[in-house]
Amino acid sequence: MALSTVICIGMAGSGKTTFMQRLNSHLRSKKTAPYVINLDPAVLRIPYGANIDIRDSIKYKKVMENYQLGPNGAIVTSLNLFSTKIDQVIKLVEKKNESHKHCIIDTPGQIECFVWSASGSIITESFASTFPTVIAYIVDTPRNSSPTTFMSNMLYACSILYKTKLPMIVVFNKTDVCKADFAREWMTDFESFQAALREDQDTNGTSGMGSGYMGSLVNSMSLMLEEFYSQLDMVGVSSFTGEGFDDFLEAVDNKVGEYDEYYKAEREKILKEKEEKEKKRKEKSLDGLMRDLGINENKTAKSDNEGADVLSDLEIDDNDGLVERDEDEGVEREYTFPGEERTEGEINSKNEPDLQKRYRDAFESVAKDASSQTAENIAKYIRQ
Ligand SMILES: Nc1nc2c(ncn2[C@@H]2O[C@H](COP(=O)(O)OP(=O)(O)OP(=O)(O)O)[C@@H](O)[C@H]2O)c(=O)[nH]1
């Protein structure tokens, strides 16, 4: 059994938490209990047992107090703090790879805090690069029965699809109150959507959302979204009655298949390109730094006392504005990285066959030491 991840995303009140609860109990009744993660730091009570709960490690109220943040800022900061530990979370979930078929994840109702935050991307990326991952976009069906609201919600779903680049299932929830047939029709038949829009205009006149500028905008949008709809699976469910959950699980299997077939290769390609770009960038900045420090295996311009390239090469002297180079100060300079104490002479020595590698290793260890401060830095940054 290989584990796949389902990330539940949806507008506030769309029913994510109730959906998670029903999905959990539905899977349990089939003797395939899921691994459950709650990523909503602000939720007061969750009606399902979570294996990993963000609230265990991050106290939302304390984040608000300590960093003097409002509700949304505190959610983003909590997610940022949590994302610094995402490697540990992934390791825990990896251990369940054989015993569980699904890992289901609940996200904050403030959808933008998760979808458009750096930490939301890090968390999603971390799961998606380890397991086949599917987005379940939960929609409140009764509230989306007007063509304009429906279109707005679909545009949001569309932006999430292109942002995450992950297979998506649009889940029309609360079908016990309102059936989702109209949505299926609008998503598959452009003309029926146009007819609904016209009807909305006729009923509500110029005061309605479907009239005037908005009407023609929605009209053109519906054409644009045809391509988007073709990439989606849609299901209607009721988290109250359990209706439609078998269809949902079928859609998940279908999307996991698609993930393995298309998305995985595409993602790996993007990640490889990213890695190569990052490697080049690092090499470039390392070279720049080496030049700044005047360190070069082939003896540097700096030690030959040629003109200064950068400000950091210079020390301002009180002496009539005369600028003196570090090397002229008669102080023995030490380049000290943890565990290494070497003088400039040693560094510039030809006996250092792989100087760049030693620097890289030293930087990595410095970066590790700094990681404990990362969370605090993130919080500081946000406060700024
Ligand atoms: N009739 C009906 N109501 C539902 C269904 N699912 C959820 N609800 C109701 O919708 C409301 C919101 O449900 P939640 O599960 O709290 O929604 P949520 O998206 O987690 O909300 P946030 O955490 O605020 O984002 C609650 O009053 C639920 O009882 C459903 O399938 N049918």
Predicted confidence (pLDDT) per residue in 327-348, tens digit: 444 444 333 334 444 444 444 4
> How are the residues of the chain apportioned to helix, strand and coil, as percentages rounded to the nearest 5?
55, 10, 30
Contacts 24+ apart (CB under 8 A), 84-88: 84/371, 84/374, 84/375, 84/378, 85/57, 86/122, 86/123, 86/126, 87/126
Q: Which residues contact 309 (CB under 8 A, 6 or more apart)?
A: 291, 292, 301
pLDDT digits (tens, 9 = 90+) for 209-244: 555 677 777 777 777 788 888 888 999 999 999 999
- What is the predicted pLDDT for the residue at 305? 44
- What is the predicted pLDDT for the residue at 357? 62
Which residue has its alpha carbon closest to ligand 1 atom 2? 174
pLDDT digits (tens, 9 = 90+) for 345-361: 444 444 444 545 655 56
Residue-averaged pLDDT of the chain: 78
> Within a 10 A sphere around the Cβ of 108, how many other Cβ atoms?
26
Which residue has its alpha carbon closest to ligand 1 atom 13? 15
**Res. 324 pLDDT band, cuts 50 70 90:** very low
210 lines ligand 1 (CB under 6 A): no
Residue 157 pLDDT exceeds 50: yes
Indicate the SS3 state at residue 37.
strand
The whole-angstrom distance between residue 208's C-alpha and the CA centroid of its chain comes to 37
177 lines ligand 1 (CB under 6 A): yes
Distance from the CA of 61 to the center of ligand 1, in angstroms? 23
**Mean per-residue pLDDT, 264-283:** 83
Residue tagged 């996991």 (tokens)? 256
Q: What is the DSSP letter of 177?
A: T
Distance from the CA of 6 to the center of ligand 1, in angstroms? 18
pTM summary value: 0.71
Residue 322 pLDDT exceeds 60: no
Closest Cα to residue 86, out of 129, 47, 48?
129
pLDDT digits (tens, 9 = 90+) for 45-97: 889 889 999 999 888 898 889 888 889 899 999 999 898 889 999 999 999 98
Tell which one of 114, 178, 179, 239 to mutate to probe ligand 1, the residue whose CB is within 8 A of the most ligand atoms.
239
Distance from the CA of 203 to the center of ligand 1, in angstroms? 29
- What is the predicted pLDDT for the residue at 273? 86
Residue 312 pLDDT exceeds 80: no
Tell which one of 9, 17, 18 to mutate to probe ligand 1, the residue whose CB is within 8 A of the most ligand atoms.
18
Q: Find the range with the poorest average confidence among 10-24, 39-53, 167-181, 306-320.
A: 306-320
288 lines ligand 1 (CB under 6 A): no
**Res. 373 pLDDT band, cuts 50 70 90:** low
- What is the predicted pLDDT for the residue at 265? 80
238 lines ligand 1 (CB under 6 A): yes
The third-level CATH classification (topology) of the domain covering 4-205+216-268 is Rossmann fold (3.40.50)
> Within a 10 A sphere around the Cβ of 50, how many other Cβ atoms?
20
Distance from the CA of 14 to the center of ligand 1, in angstroms? 6
Residue 196 pLDDT exceeds 60: yes
Indicate the SS3 state at residue 310.
coil
Angle value at C-alpha 155, between 153 and 160, nearest 5 degrees:
95
- What is the predicted pLDDT for the residue at 333? 36
- What is the predicted pLDDT for the residue at 365? 57
**Mean per-residue pLDDT, 104-111:** 90
- What is the predicted pLDDT for the residue at 358? 57
Contacts 24+ apart (CB under 8 A), 266-274: 266/165, 267/128, 267/129, 267/165, 270/165, 271/129
**Res. 260 pLDDT band, cuts 50 70 90:** confident
**Mean per-residue pLDDT, 128-132:** 90
Which sequence spans correspond to the domains of the chain?
4-205+216-268
Phi, psi of 135 (to 5 degrees): -95, 130
